[in-house]
């Protein structure tokens, strides 16, 4: 299985904002049903785009500072960062092909 990094308020800047690759961040919570529906898509993308895209997960319950800083109002939210900036936000459980198409456009 490809690497999926668990990030926190503490290491978000290092792991996401300072990354050399584009970074997909899955903002989620353990109690969130739609988050569980999106998880297999996120895992598949980590494997498919390994070496071209870094994939991270951030638990919003445990890391409210980062979630608030990026205006995460609903979960799941998948955000793609390039050069430390959000370039795409996908809110809600979207079909795999929709997420894939939006992320591929940024690679």
The single residue of 4, 16, 24, 32 carrying the catalytic annotation is: 32
CA distances from 67 to 12, 44, 100 (A): 11, 23, 23
Look up 32 and say whether it is catalytic. Answer: yes
The single residue of 35, 53, 58, 79 carrying the catalytic annotation is: 35
Measured CA to CA, the distance from residue 86 to residue 27 in angstroms comes to 13
Residues 6+ apart with CB under 8 A from 67: 27, 58, 60
Q: What is the set of active-site residues?
A: 32, 35
């Amino acid at each position: 299985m490809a690497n999926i990094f668990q990030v926190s308020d503490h290491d978000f800047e290092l792991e996401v904002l300072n990354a050399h690759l584009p970074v997909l961040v899955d903002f989620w919570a353990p109690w969130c049903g739609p988050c569980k529906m999106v998880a297999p898509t996120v895992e598949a993308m980590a494997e498919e785009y390994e070496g071209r895209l870094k994939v991270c997960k951030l638990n919003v319950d445990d890391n409210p500072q980062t979630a608030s800083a990026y205006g995460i109002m609903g979960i799941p939210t998948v955000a793609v960062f390039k050069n430390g900036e959000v370039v795409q936000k996908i809110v809600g459980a979207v079909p795999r092909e929709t997420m894939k198409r939006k992320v591929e456009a940024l690679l």
